């Protein structure tokens, strides 16, 4: 299969698809450091503004004589509340509008769209509804799933929404979990933080971004006081951040003090070796403390948790490199996803009508009011009863 990648970032999704045997013809992103990283590690990449991209020109430059096999990528979800025609006219929704435009013009047989968990309930479900309606109107049958990355050998508790579309009526099934998670935290059979970074404890190597940063005196005191699994709220008051108590007791929009919602954001948190890590974000190297060493994580340790190989080198400033790592799809999961699409493409019969075929949106036995609202909006789009149970 041949693919075009848009909103490619540093190329975590693309690297996994490439490892599974998909040929990435070209990638497109608007951030120069990400494009540079992609070129150095994955392949051909172009810096373009995807909010105003000419996809007809892109098609001509790619010399696409026939149907393209696959489009992959993850346009950022802004979550605005416009609906119907207003949704697509709203300039703030230009990125998702142009993703749909890419599908219309490049006309791939398959597509994969990755996004954050918040996509499911953004704009009270309307964002997802409008997005899926546009894809169905282009002739696609769709499968949507909230993926728990720790179930697929990723040493990290990370949730992402994946939409897979096919316009040939082929039935698609997401890859089966390697090690199903029965709860928020589990200890047996998981790919753990120790598996990912245990061998880096005594390694210092600037070439791979394995450079421990010495903490300030105050930060060092906080770090020393944290046991595995503890966060800022577990520190003595003398070591807590000045704003922590104030934030812990502030009232949010509905009048409930955040102390009654579990307290303030955790800030520093010491991770645990024998569990998957917490979600790696662009703040991970400032907030996540090594499980046994009195320092925060290095960039390479964050990249390892995201399953990037050590040969993958990130370009740009430190903050730009960490943003690339935190925004990426773990390549290990991407390879499994690609393999499931390849299998469906080769074996599935063309029997599925266009529409929403499967929506697996939660592992919980209960459904939140926000998710119930989304499901009500999606029900008219479905060709079968929605499956809530993974």
Lookup: tokens for 261? 């919602």
Q: What is the C-alpha separation between 328 and 144, in angstroms, rounded?
A: 19
Q: DSSP for 99-168?
A: HHHHHHHH--SEEEEEEEGGGGTGGGGHHHHHHHHHHHHTT-EEEEEEEEGGGGT-SB--EEEEEEEESS
Distance between CA atoms of 335 and 319, rounded to whole angstroms?
A: 27
Q: What is the rounded distance in angstroms from the CA atom of residue 119 to the CA atom of residue 130?
A: 11
Instruction: Judge whether 302 counts as a catalytic residue.
Output: no
Cβ neighbours, 10 Å, residue 158: 23
| Alpha helix positions (H), the chain | 12-19, 32-41, 55-62, 84-89, 94-106, 126-137, 193-197, 217-225, 244-248, 284-287, 299-305, 318-327, 331-347, 369-378
Q: How far apart are CA 179 and CA 156, in angstroms?
A: 13
Q: Using an 8 Å Cβ cutoff, are 276 and 154 in contact? A: yes
Q: Which of 1, 25, 32, 205 is nearest to 10 (CA)?
A: 32
Structural tokens at position 47: 């810096």
- Signed CA dihedral, 84, 85, 91, 94: sign only: positive
Does residue 205 sit in helix, strand or coil? strand
Among residues 308, 312, 303, which one has the least CA distance to residue 331? 308
Q: How far does CA 247 lie from the centroid of its chain? A: 28
Whether the CB-CB separation of 200 and 211 falls below 8 Å is answered with: no
Helical packing angle, 126-137 and 94-106, nearest 10°: 20
Residues with catalytic function = 77
């Amino acid at each position: 299969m041949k693919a075009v990648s848009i909103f490619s970032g540093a190329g975590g999704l693309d690297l996994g698809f490439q490892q599974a045997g998909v040929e990435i013809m070209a990638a497109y992103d608007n951030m120069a450091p990400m494009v540079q990283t992609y070129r150095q590690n994955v392949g051909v990449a172009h810096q373009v503004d995807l909010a105003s991209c000419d996809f007809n020109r892109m098609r001509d430059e790619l010399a696409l004589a026939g149907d393209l096999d696959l489009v992959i990528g993850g346009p950022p979800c802004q979550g605005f509340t416009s609906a119907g025609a207003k949704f697509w006219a709203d300039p703030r929704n230009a990125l998702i509008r142009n993703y749909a435009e890419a599908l219309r013009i490049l006309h791939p047989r398959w597509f994969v769209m990755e996004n954050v968990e918040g996509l499911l309930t953004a704009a009270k479900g309307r964002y997802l509804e409008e997005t899926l309606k546009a894809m169905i109107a282009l002739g696609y049958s769709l499968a949507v799933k909230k993926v728990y990355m720790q179930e697929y050998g990723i040493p990290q508790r990370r949730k992402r929404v994946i939409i897979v579309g096919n316009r040939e009526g082929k039935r698609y099934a997401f890859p089966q979990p390697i090690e199903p998670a029965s709860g928020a935290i589990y200890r047996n059979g998981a790919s753990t933080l120790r598996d990912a970074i245990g061998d880096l404890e005594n390694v210092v190597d600037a070439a791979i971004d394995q450079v421990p940063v010495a903490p300030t005196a105050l930060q060092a005191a906080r770090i020393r006081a944290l046991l595995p699994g503890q966060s800022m709220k577990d520190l003595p008051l003398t070591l807590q951040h000045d704003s922590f108590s104030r934030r812990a007791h502030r009232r949010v929009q509905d009048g409930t003090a955040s102390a009654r919602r579990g307290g303030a954001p955790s800030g520093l948190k010491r991770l645990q070796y024998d569990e998957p890590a917490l979600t790696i974000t662009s703040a991970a190297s400032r907030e996540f403390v090594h499980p046994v060493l009195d320092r925060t994580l290095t960039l390479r340790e964050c990249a390892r948790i995201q399953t990037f190989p050590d040969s993958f080198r990130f370009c740009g400033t430190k903050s730009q490199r960490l943003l690339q790592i935190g925004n990426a799809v773990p390549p290990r999961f991407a390879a499994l996803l690609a393999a499931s699409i390849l299998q469906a493409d080769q074996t599935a019969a063309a029997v599925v009508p266009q529409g929403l075929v499967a929506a697996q949106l939660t592992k919980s036995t209960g459904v939140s009011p926000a998710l119930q609202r989304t499901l009500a909006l999606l029900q008219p789009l479905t060709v079968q009863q929605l499956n809530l149970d993974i």
